[in-house]
């Protein structure tokens, strides 16, 4: 036997093992309290860690879907605002046309014709400026808006673009002298107003559907995140109580070891 080796009694070895175990437990409790998690690594609990990771990934995927839906809603809101503006311009055009039809003054009719054609041009400008994130639902040349709710084929909503330009609405320009103002002009404006109203109703219905889906997706994301938390989060009150209990046991173990050492020392004095 090497001269520097030390033989420990069975009691001493047991006391040492107990203190090492308690020290490890105290370290774990302290970590749980500081991180708020009882499972921080796969080695803590492989099953819980993997299950929690899957739920966290699911929550992240759903959050991304919600963001996508939110962008879709913003695109439709931009179109709604543009359509509302177009309706206001149509009302203005109707007022100008009505005034021109009721006027016998050629100069006045010509002036009103200039105003009419200028406001008509604003319809095109407003429709062209109603896009969001590269998609304009008031332009026939724009691509349709597709909002996906998952990676599953067909689980989406597609909104086709509508032509809300003056030409697309069938609102023709009038002659510069105002000679073409007529009841047909007013009829064109009424038909255009009905078309814009139908577009707004369709967009509004889509926004409602998207809002419902967005809320449902958010709820599912919250449920997944909550489930992950239940698998990994520590009960701080319980962890604190266990830490105090472990520290108390450590103190008692040290006292026991001291008593054992004192007993051995007393025996050695007999020799």
Predicted confidence (pLDDT) per residue in 240-254, tens digit: 666 566 667 666 656
More confident position, 183 or 235:
183
Question: Residue 1 pLDDT more than 50?
Answer: no
pLDDT digit string, tens, across residues 101-154: 999 999 999 999 999 999 999 999 999 999 998 899 998 887 788 888 876 767
Cα 140 to Cα 164: distance, rounded to the nearest angstrom: 8
Q: Which long-range contacts (CB under 8 A, 24 or more apart) does 180-184 make?
A: 181/97, 181/100, 181/101, 181/109, 181/112, 181/113, 181/116, 182/101, 183/101
pLDDT tens, residue by residue, 184-234: 999 999 999 999 999 999 999 998 988 888 888 888 888 888 887 777 766
* pTM for the full predicted model: 0.68
Task: Kindly report which listed range (39-43, 94-98, 206-210) carries the lowest average pLDDT score.
Answer: 39-43
Amino acid 188: pLDDT: 95
Long-range contacts of 93-99 (CB under 8 A, 24+ apart): 93/119, 93/120, 93/171, 93/189, 94/186, 94/189, 94/190, 94/193, 97/174, 97/181, 97/185, 97/186, 97/189, 98/186
- Is residue 136 classed as helix, strand or coil in its secondary structure? coil
pLDDT band at 93 (very low <50, low <70, confident <90, very high): very high
* Whole-number percent of the chain with pLDDT over 90: 38
Residue 19 pLDDT: 60
């Amino acid at each position: 036997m090497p001269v520097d080796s030390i033989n420990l009694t069975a009691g001493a070895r047991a006391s040492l093992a107990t203190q090492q175990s308690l020290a490890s437990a105290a370290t774990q409790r302290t970590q749980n309290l500081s991180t708020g998690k009882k499972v921080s690594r796969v080695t803590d609990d492989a099953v819980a860690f993997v299950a929690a990771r899957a739920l966290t990934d699911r929550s992240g995927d759903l959050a991304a879907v919600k963001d996508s839906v939110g962008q879709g809603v913003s695109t439709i809101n931009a179109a709604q605002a543009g359509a509302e503006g177009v309706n206001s311009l149509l009302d203005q055009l109707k007022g100008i046309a009505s005034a021109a039809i009721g006027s016998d003054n050629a100069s006045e009719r010509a002036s009103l014709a200039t105003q009419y054609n200028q406001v008509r041009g604003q319809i095109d400008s407003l429709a062209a400026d109603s896009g969001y994130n590269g998609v304009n639902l008031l332009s026939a040349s724009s691509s349709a808006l597709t909002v996906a709710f998952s990676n599953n084929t067909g689980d989406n909503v597609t909104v086709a673009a509508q032509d809300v330009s003056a030409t697309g609405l069938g609102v023709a320009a009038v002659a510069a002298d105002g000679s073409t103002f007529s009841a047909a002009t007013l009829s064109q404006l009424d038909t255009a107003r009905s078309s814009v109203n139908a577009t707004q109703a369709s967009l509004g219905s889509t926004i409602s559907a998207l809002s419902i889906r967005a809320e449902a997706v958010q709820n599912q994301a919250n449920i997944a995140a909550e489930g992950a938390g239940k698998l990994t989060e520590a009960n701080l009150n319980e962890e604190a109580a266990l830490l105090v209990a472990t520290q108390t046991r450590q103190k008692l173990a040290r006292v026991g070891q001291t008593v054992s050492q004192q007993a051995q020392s007393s025996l050695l004095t007999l020799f």
